[in-house]
Amino acid sequence: MTKSREDREDQKPTDHDPGRRKFLKGVGIAGAGAAIADHLWSEAEAKEKSAAPPESLSGNVKVVLDVNGQKREAQVEPRTTLLNTLRNHLDPAVTGPKLVCDVGTCGACTVLLDDKPVYSCLVLAVDAANKKITTVEGLGTPENPNAVQAAFVENDALMCGFCTPGFVTTISAYLKKNPNPSLADVREACKGNFCRCGTYPRVFEAALAAAKGSQA
Ligand code: FES
Ligand code: FES
C-alpha cells in the first residue's frame, strides 16, 4: 500500500518540526485542556443537579428565644429581626425595645444579647436563638426596679420616653463593667443612643446617681 506523504513524514522524526505539525501539536494540547475543562464543568453540573436542593429560606421557621429568662416561641421568616419578633411575633409581646430608626443608628431598640448591648433591629431572630436576651423589662419591675431604672425616675431623666429603654439597658450593662464611671465615661458609653428630646444631662446624671447608689 502506498503511504501518503503525510504518513511518511510522521514516521520520520526530525529535529526540524515543520510549522504545521507544531501548530497541530499546539491545538492538541489546547484541545485537551478544553476537553478536560469541559469534562470538569459537566461533572460539576451533574453534581449540582444530583445534590439535594438547598434548604428553603422562604416561609416561616420556628425560633425559640430565651427572653428575660423565659423560653418564648415564634414563627417568623428567616429575615425577621429580633426587634420585630419581640414586638410583633410573641404573645404577649415584649415592647420595651422601641422601633425608631430600624437601621441601627438611634439605640432605641437596644437589648442585651448574652449581656452585651446590641441593636435588636440589626439582629436576626434566628441568630438570637440559644442566646440570653435581656430587655428593659428583664432588668427590674415597677415594684422592684434596678438601680438605673430607679435613678431615671428619681432624676426625671425622660421626656417622651422613647429612647429611655435603650439608655437604661445600655447604662445597666455598662455599670457592670465600670461601676465607678466619670461623666466622660458615661457620655462615651451612651454614644450609640440618641435622645431627640435632648434629655442628655438628666440621663447622664441618672447614670452617675445609679453608679453611686449601687456603691453605697
Ligand atoms: S431602632 Fe434600632 S437602632 Fe434605631
Ligand atoms: S426622652 Fe424623648 S427621645 Fe429621649
Please tell me the distance from the alpha carbon of residue 40 to that of residue 44, in angstroms, as a whole number: 6
Choose which residue among 81, 82, 103 to substitute to test ligand 1 binding: the one with the highest number of ligand atoms within 8 A of its C-beta.
Answer: 103
Sorted by sequence, the CB contacts under 8 Å of residue 51 that are 6+ apart come out as none
Q: What is the pLDDT of residues 182-206, one digit of tens each?
A: 999 999 999 999 999 999 999 999 9
| Per-residue model confidence (pLDDT) at position 24 | 42
CA 191 / ligand 2 centre spacing (Å)? 14
Q: d(Cα 208, Cα 7) in Å, to the nearest integer?
A: 98
Which atom of ligand 1 is the closest one to the Cα of 109?
2
For a mutational test of ligand 2's pocket, the pick from 105, 152, 158, 171, i.e. the residue with the most ligand atoms closer than 8 A to its C-beta, is 158
Stretch (H or E) spanning 8? helix 5-11
pLDDT for residue 72 is more than 90: yes
pLDDT at 213: 84
172, 206 contact by CB (below 8 A)? no
CA distances from 79 to 31, 50, 117, 125, 126 (A): 47, 28, 21, 8, 8
Q: pLDDT (tens digit, 9 = 90+) per residue, 8-42? A: 334 444 444 444 445 445 545 445 555 555 666 66
Is residue 183 within 8 A of residue 215, CB to CB? The reply is no
For residues 170 and 193, the answer to whether their CB atoms sit within 8 Å is: yes
- What gap in Å lies between CA 139 and CA 166, rounded to an integer? 12
Mean pLDDT of the chain: 85
As a whole-number percent, the residues of the chain with pLDDT over 70 amount to 73
Q: 62: which strand partners?
A: 75
Cα-only R_g, the chain: 33
User: Residue 65 and residue 85: Cα distance in Å, rounded?
Assistant: 10
Half-sphere exposure of 157 (CA within 13 A, CB side): 26
CA distances from 164 to 170, 210, 211 (A): 10, 15, 17
Predicted TM-score of the model (pTM): 0.75
Distance 74 CA to ligand 1 centre (A): 21
207, pLDDT greater than 80: yes
- Whether 65 and 133 have beta carbons less than 8 Å apart is answered as yes
Residues in the chain: 216
Unique residue bearing C-alpha cell 444530583: 50
Measure the CA–CA gap between 56 and 149, rounded to whole angstroms. Answer: 43
